[in-house]
Amino acid sequence: MAEAQNSPKSSTSLGQGGPPPVGSTTAGSIAVVAESTVVSRMSAPPSFDVADFPVPHGREEEWRFTPLERLRGLHDGTAVATGDGLKVDVQAPEGVTVEAVGRDDARLGKAGTPVDRIAAQAYSAFEKAGVITVPKETVLTEPIRIAVHGEGGTAFAHQVIELGAFAEAVVVIDHTGDAVLAAGVDYVLGDGAKLTVVSVQDWDDKAVHIAQHNALVGRDASFKSVVVTFGGDVVRLHPRVTYAGPGGEAELFGLYFTDAGQHQEHRLLVTHNVPHCKSNVVYKGALQGDGAHAVWIGDVLIEAAAEGTDTYEMNRNLVLTDGARVDSVPNLEIETGEIVGAGHASATGRFDDEQLFYLMARGIPAEEARRLVVRGFFAELVQQIGVDDIEQRLLEKIDEELETVSGPGR
Amino acid sequence: MATLEIRDLHVTVEADNATKEILKGVDLTVKQGETHAIMGPNGSGKSTLAYSLAGHPKYTITGGTVLLDGEDVLEMSVDERARAGLFLAMQYPVEVPGVSVSNFLRTSATAIRGEAPKLRTWVKEVKEAMQRLNMDPSFAERNVNEGFSGGEKKRHEILQLELLKPKIAILDETDSGLDVDALRVVSEGVNRVRETGEVGTLLITHYTRILRYIKPDHVHVFAGGRIVESGGPELADKLENEGYEAYTKGGPVTGGNSEEEVA
């Protein structure tokens, strides 16, 4: 039997004995199964062709949290690329190859296949794809920086980042401005390669950003993904990891700050398909304001062949005001008992009036009290990013976000 | 000399869609250097007095005045009251996950003192204060009140009292839930602060036990939302022997509100 440990802290409040936040769900499960439901509950099998997916109506498992009416037609084929709506600027250190390639390039789509209609739409509609290659044994000392700036248009994009064997790189992808964007990103890691990717969603308020990230982690390779979502009207990201050989490691970190009216959805799937790989997922989010909605789906699938797997996933949410909603669903499926460890935890708490009172009763003004709590909540995660200027920027951004809020429970 | 003057204080609370008056005209003056014990049965409104003075939003002041050195406390926000020199050691200190004790103490001291304490002297100050309260140094790295035992929470409250040096300290049932050893350590901490002569202490308690360690100058019996009798330390002895029965005869004095109204 699997060594599964569940920590079903569903809706655990941070406050001592306080009530769970209004509108929060945590429905975690650990199942020992013969056949995966993570795969079978999707409404269609993976495909590169958008025509293979029915137009979602919103009740499907993979769409039930997403406000389809705010997707600006990305899901039903009515969104049309506007040509110059998105600017992409790549700065890469010497030794890195940066190309724009046609649809028939053999390097595209190797890390994974689109699993839902918008991912397939993105793949079916892009004209040129970006390919960034770090040759084998090349160790970069400076990050590759990709600036994606929306100028109000609609775009379909595909980007491949490929590291040869034993190459090491840090990639920072920065999303700003206003855009309606459906994208696919492939990360292909050769044997022993090390890749850290920081994807920052710092969009303007109206942006819609839907993307599937596929990582294929080579033998003994290490993949670290840091997803940071602050902006946008709707952001829905789907980071997925599979392994090309044993000994691979994946760390998936996420940080989101969901404001009034924003929908921020992170759906993760780690598929342990080969033996002796590790994965560690930690996503933390703060929410504030009316209609702020964060969704976290954390799926881990340990296939029958993946003996010696070691995996853990965690989601924590901090609700700062009334009117915000969190849906957090960790899901672990295990097809072999011969593993090192597997577990998950999800908890949503709120910064409540009692915490505020306690801190203020010690002379700390309300604004500062909130900053203290939120910075503390994120600090441990931010420190694990390992990219100095990003860490600093995140802390500043968190402070900035906090300035826009009024008191909790007000 | 710092003086807290409470005059004819009336306080209500909303409960079960009804407004209930808990404090029904409290009069009390606490001067710097004095220690006042407020004793009373459960439900008499003692904790309401403590939280109302600190400014907890749950309580509505419907009448009366509270002045600290002539300044209107009731007009101040919670943090302003603390910066003006009021300190409430809470009966049920709140957990604040993600915020370490050391970060919390420094942020608080900075706010109260108006400037950040110099790091070197501050570290020493905290370390020594913790030693005096028999607190392990690792305590500073834990999150505020998270997973603290009852005794640890109270020590942490008294640690703050020692570091923040208020003009008026309100200790709300600081003795509750403490074993004898912890009670002694906590009381010694309170006494160290009292011996400076700089603080006026309002000691709220249900039991006389703590008064063996902290000797009050004045004892007040609290019942039915007001002070019903005041005297010297001998009044505590009388309560020790006779209990509160003499003050609660004739039914519940607070109109059926039988529990402490702490948050």
Whether residue A70 is predicted with pLDDT greater than 60 in this model: the reply is yes
CA closest to A365 among chain B residues: B79
Taking 90 as the threshold, does the pLDDT of residue A2 lie above it? no
Residue (of B8, B37, B7) closest to B194 by Cα position? B37
Contact at CB, A349 and B143, closer than 8 angstroms: no
Cα atoms in the Cβ-side hemisphere of radius 13 Å centred on A308 = 9
pLDDT score at A95: 95
What percent of chain A is modeled with pLDDT above 70? 90
Residue type at A362? R
Q: What integer is the mean pLDDT of A224-251? A: 97
Given this model, what pLDDT does residue A15 score? 30
Is A32 exposed, middle or buried (CB count within 10 Å of its CB: 0-12, 13-18, 19+)?
middle
Mean pLDDT for A183-206 is: 97
pLDDT above 60: residue B193: yes
Using an 8 Å CB-CB cutoff, list chain A residues near B144: 358
Looking at beta carbons, which residues of chain B come within 8 Å of A353? Answer: 57
Is B160:B128 a contact under the CB 8 Å cutoff? no
Distance set, CA A348 to CA A29, A255, A368, B257 (Å): 16, 14, 22, 33
Give the helix ranges, DSSP H, for A152-300.
Answer: none
Q: Which among A353, A359, A375 is the nearest to B96, CB-wise?
A: A359
Strand A97-101 versus strand A249-258 pairing type: unpaired
pLDDT of residue A163: 98
pLDDT of residue A389: 84
Chosen from A362, A367, A395 to mutate, greatest number of chain B CBs within 10 A? A362
For A321-365, the DSSP string reads STT-EEEEEEEEEES-S--SEEEEEEEEEE--HHHHHHHHTTT--
Per-residue pLDDT band at A31 (split at 50, 70, 90): confident
- Substitution target in B56, B79, B81, B103 with the highest count of A β-carbons within 10 Å is B79
From B99, B108, B144, residue closest to A363, measured CB to CB: B108
Average confidence (pLDDT) over A236-252 = 98
**Cα A24 from chain centroid?**
19
Residue A36 confidence (pLDDT): 64
Whether residue B58 has pLDDT greater than 50: yes
Q: Does A376 sit within 8 Å of B143, measured CB to CB?
A: yes
Does A8 have pLDDT greater than 50? no
Question: Residue B213: its pLDDT value, please?
Answer: 95
* pLDDT tens-digit series, residues B110-122: 999 999 999 999 9
Contact map slice: A 343-402 vs B, CB within 8 A: 349, 353-355, 357-366, 368, 372-377, 379
How many angstroms separate the first and last alpha carbons of chain B? Answer: 32
What are the distances in angstroms from CA A309 to CA A8, A147, A250, A276, B104?
Answer: 21, 36, 12, 5, 40
- In this model, does residue B262 exceed pLDDT 70? no
CA distances from B173 to A334, B32, B93, B176, B211 (A): 51, 20, 11, 5, 12
Give the pLDDT confidence of A265-302 residue by residue, as tens digits: 999 999 999 999 999 999 999 999 999 999 999 999 99
Determine the Cα–Cα distance for residues A349 and A16; give it in Å rounded to an integer. Answer: 10
Question: Above 70 in pLDDT, residue A1?
Answer: no
Do B111 and A363 count as a contact with CB atoms less than 8 A apart?
yes
Higher pLDDT, B136 or A380: B136
pLDDT at A5 (0 to 100): 37
Task: Enumerate residues 317 to 336 of chain A having a beta carbon within 8 A of any beta carbon in chain B.
Answer: 318
Cα–Cα–Cα angle for A69, A408, B90, rounded to 5 degrees: 155
In which band, very low, low, confident or very high, does the pLDDT at A39 lie, cut at 50, 70 and 90?
low
Q: Residue A388 above 90 pLDDT?
A: no
Beta bridge partners of A251: A224, A280
Closest CA–CA distance from residue B251 to any residue of chain A (Å):
31
CB A228 within 8 A of CB A259: no
Contact residues, chain A, for B103 at CB < 8 Å: 372, 376
d(CA A72, CA B49): 56
The single residue listed with the structure tokens 């949410």 is A317
**What pLDDT, on a 0 to 100 scale, did the predictor assign at position B169?**
98
Nearest CA in chain A to B90: A358
Size of interface A-B (CB pairs under 8 A): 89
Mutation site, B96, B106, B168, B171, interface A, largest A CB count within 10 A = B96
Q: Mean pLDDT across the stretch A359-388? A: 89
Verify whether the Cβ–Cβ distance A361 to B78 is below 8 Å: yes
Spell out which residues of chain A touch residue B263, defining contact as CB-CB under 8 Å: 354, 357
The pLDDT, as a whole number, for residue A29 is 72
Q: How far apart are CA B15 and CA B32, in angstroms?
A: 35
Please tell me which of the candidates A365, A377, A379 has its beta carbon nearest to residue B79. A365
Residues paired with residue B24 on neighbouring β-strands, in sequence order: B10
pLDDT given at position A34:
63
Report the residue from A15, A363, A374 with minimal CB separation from B79: A363
CA-nearest residue of chain B to A378? B98
Q: How far apart are CA A68 and CA A61, in angstroms?
A: 13
Least confident range from B23-32, B58-67, B69-78, B204-213: namely: B204-213
CB-nearest to A363 from B95, B112, B145 is: B112
Number of H helices, E strands in chain B: 8, 12
> What is the reported pTM?
0.81
pLDDT, mean over chain B: 92
Query: Chain A contacts of B161, Cβ < 8 Å?
Result: none
Which chain B positions have a beta carbon within 8 Å of A375's beta carbon?
Answer: 98
Looking at residue A409, its pLDDT comes to 38
Report which of A97, A99, A112, A220 is spatially closest to residue A165, judged by C-alpha positions.
A220
Interface of chain B against chain A, CB under 8 Å?
54-57, 77-79, 81-83, 87-88, 90, 92-100, 103-104, 107-108, 111-112, 143-145, 160, 164, 263
Residue B57 Cα, gap to closest chain A Cα (Å): 8
pLDDT of residue A225: 97
Average pLDDT over residues A353-375: 93
Q: Do B96 and A360 touch (CB under 8 A)?
A: no
Q: Tell me if chain B has a CB within 8 Å of the CB of A13.
A: no
- At A23, is the pLDDT very low, low, confident or very high (cuts 50, 70, 90)? low
**For range A344-349, the mean pLDDT:** 90
Pick from B57, B98, B111: which is nearest to A364 by CB? Answer: B111
Contact A372 B83 (CB under 8 A): no
**Chain A (128-167) residues lying within 8 Å, Cβ to Cβ, of chain B:** none
Contact A174, A129 (CB under 8 A): no
Contact A377 B160 (CB under 8 A): no
| A392 vs B218, residue with greater confidence | B218
Task: Quote the mean pLDDT of chain A.
Answer: 89
Q: What is the CA radius of gyration of chain A?
A: 21
User: pLDDT tens across B135-160, in order?
Assistant: 999 999 999 999 999 999 999 999 99
Task: Report the complex ipTM.
Answer: 0.93
Angstroms from A380 CA to nearest CA on chain B: 9
